[in-house]
Structures are given as structure tokens and as C-alpha cells.
Structure 1
Amino acid sequence: MRTLFPPYAHPSADLALDADTWIIQGRPGRRRSVHQVLGRVDLDWGGRSLADVLADVDAWREDGVEGLFLDRAPAGEGGVGPVALTVRLAARRGLHRVVLNPGVPTHPLYRDLNVRICTFDGPWSAYQGWDGDGVQPGDGHIVHGVPTALLTAARRLMGRRGAGFGLATDASPFFVPVPEQVAVES
């Protein structure tokens, strides 16, 4: 199973370089990893303008990433057209590796886009009781907030549920570190 690190979960510094690890970077700029990097583009559940989305795609292309992570993607039939257009325009810009993250199972038409789809993105508490309706083997699962003692069990559960990529992590997307206070001399 491929490992996909969302922006809030960082691999350890001693993680060996391999083709099965993807790091999602939140913004273009200094790379935080030697692994394959996917640039995060927020689709805001289909609420962002195509011009804004394409500006992000172009910024990531200039940054030299290996692909895109289309986050907060719409999952319903009405979002297929704009997402398909984004995927096609990304490919024309040389960004062929695309992961779509609606975080839930999608309308079947999304399968025709030939991209990887993350069909679960949520907390461990929800993943434990999740029935997996609408997913296919190979889909991605991102499970956060897993108690450290249960990380191995969470990864095994992901495997039994057919996840082809993803991550079980004790990190949380809702944790915002408190910035360090800097003393200013006058």
C-alpha cells in the first residue's frame, strides 16, 4: 500500500526514500521532503472558480511537483465536469499524477477520470464504524487521530478494507500549533 502524508502529518526524517511514498505539500515553495511531492489544490467542494484552481495548478507546475492532490473535491454528479476539466488541464501542464480527495465515496462517473480517489478522510472514531459502501479496492483512506497504541491495528484495518494508499496517523488536521513568541527589543 502506498503511503500518502497529508500536510498535517510529516514522515520521520529517517524514512527511506521509495516510490511508494507521497508527501502532500500545502503551498509551493521550499520542499520539505525528498519523496515524491503532490501539490495540494483546495477545490472547496466545487466552490472555487476555475481560474483560481488553474492558478494553483500553474503555481505547482512551476514548483516542479510530481502531481496534484485535489483536496475537498465535490463527490456528487454535478461536480464531475469541473473536476474533469481540472484533471485534463493539469495533464496538459504535465501533471499526470492526480489524487482526488472528496473524503467520501463519489458518483460513479468520477471513476472515468482515471485518477486515484480517496474515499475516506476522517477521524479514527468514524473509520472504525465505517461500512465502506461505494468504495473500490485501491481507493485511498486517510485516518487521523488514531491513538498511538492503535496505529498498527488501524493500518491492518485499512488493508482489510482494500485501501490502495493512505495513512493512519495520530496527527490531527485540527491541531494548530501555537506560534512561538518572539521578544522584541525597543
Structure 2
Amino acid sequence: MRTLFPPYAHPSPGLALDGDTWLIQDRPGRRRNRHQRLGRVDLDWGGRSLADVLADVDAWREEGAEGLFLDRAPAGSGGVGPVALTVRLAARRGLHRIVLNPGVPTHPLYRDLGVKICTFDGPWSAYQGWAGDGVRPGDGHLVHGVPVELLTAARRLMGRRGAGFGLATDASPYVTAATSGAVAGTADSCTTTGS
């Protein structure tokens, strides 16, 4: 299973990362590593203007990102058109590796876009009872807030549920920068910090 590190979870310096590791960078700036880097573009559930989204796409292209992580993407049929246009324009700019993150199963039309889709993005407490309706083998699962002693069990559960990529981490996307140093933890041999 590929490992995808969202902006709030970072690999420890000693962890050997391979070509199947994707690192999401929250905003353009100093490149932190040499691994596959995807630039995060917030779609605000389809609420952002196309002009603002494309400005972010262009910033990541200029930055030299390998692709995009389209975060907070819409999942319903009404959002397919704008997301499809964003994917197509990103490809024209040389950004072909796209991960769509609605965090829930999407309308079937999104499957025609030819991108990776994160169909779960949430806390461990929700993932344990998640039925997984509407997902396919190979989809991404991002599970946060996993107790350290259950990280291996969470990763195994992700595998049994057919996750093709993702991460199980004890970090939380809701941790503020002011408290991140006090709550650093691990994510399957990865050190994570809040952002």
C-alpha cells in the first residue's frame, strides 16, 4: 500500500521512504524533501472560484510539484464538472498525478476522471465502524487520531478494506501550530506533528 502523508503528518527523518511515498505540502514554499510531492489545493467542497483554484494550480506548477492533492473536494454529481475542468487544466500544466480527497465515497462519475480518490478521511473512532459502502479496492483511506498502540492494527484494517494508499496516524489535523510540539507522535514508524 502506498503511503500518503497529509500536511499534518510528516515522516521521521530516519524513515526510509520509497518512490511509492507521497508527501502533501500545504502551501508553496521551501521544498522539504526529495520525495514525490503533491501540492494541496483546497476546493472548499466546490465553493471556491475556478480562478482561485487555477491560481493555486499555477503556483504549484511553478514550484515544481509532481502533482496535486485536491482537498475538501465535492463528492456529489453537481461538483463533477468543475473538478473535471480542474483536473484537465492541471494536466495541461504538466501536473498529471492527482489525488482527489472528498473524504467520502463519490458519485460514480468521478471514477471517469482517472484520478486517485480518498474515500475516507476521518478519525479512528469513525473508521472502526465504517461500512465502506461505495468504495473500491485501491481507494485511499486517511485515518487520524489512532492510539499509538493500535497503529499496526489500523494499518492492517486498511489493508483488509482494500486501501491502495493512505495513512494511519495518531496525529490530528485539528492540532494547532502552537501545541504541535507537545503532541508529536508516530504514524506507522513515522513521526507526526500538527500544523
TM over 0.5: yes
Shift of 1:9: 0.3
Aligned-partner Cα distance in 1 for 2:10–2:42:
19
State the structure with more CA Rg: 1
Shift of 1:32: 1.8
Please tell me whether the aligned partners of residues 17 and 34 of structure 1 are also in contact (alpha carbons under 8 angstroms).
Answer: no
Please tell me whether the aligned partners of residues 22 and 35 of structure 1 are also in contact (alpha carbons under 8 angstroms).
Answer: yes
Identity of aligned residues (%): 86
> Does residue 20 in structure 1 map to residue 20 in structure 2?
yes
Aligned-partner Cα distance in 2 for 1:151–1:9:
14
- The one-letter amino acid paired with 1:117 is I
Which residue of 2 is the match for residue 6 of structure 1? Answer: 6
> Does residue 54 in structure 1 map to residue 54 in structure 2?
yes
> Does residue 165 in structure 1 map to residue 152 in structure 2?
no
Higher relative contact order, chain-length normalized (CA < 8 Å, sep 6+): 2
Which residue of 2 is the match for residue 111 of structure 1? Answer: 111
RMSD between superposed Cα atoms in Å = 1.1
Aligned-partner Cα distance in 1 for 2:164–2:12:
21
Please tell me whether the aligned partners of residues 37 and 67 of structure 1 are also in contact (alpha carbons under 8 angstroms).
Answer: yes
- Structure 1 stretches (4+) deviating beyond 4 angstroms? none
> Aligned to 2:41, what secondary structure does the other structure show?
strand
Aligned-partner Cα distance in 1 for 2:152–2:171:
15
Which residue of 1 is the match for residue 139 of structure 2? Answer: 139
The number of residue pairs the alignment matches comes to 180
TM (norm. structure 1) is 0.95
- The one-letter amino acid paired with 1:70 is L
Which residue of 1 is the match for residue 153 of structure 2? Answer: 153
Shift of 1:17: 3.4
Which residue of 2 is the match for residue 183 of structure 1? Answer: none
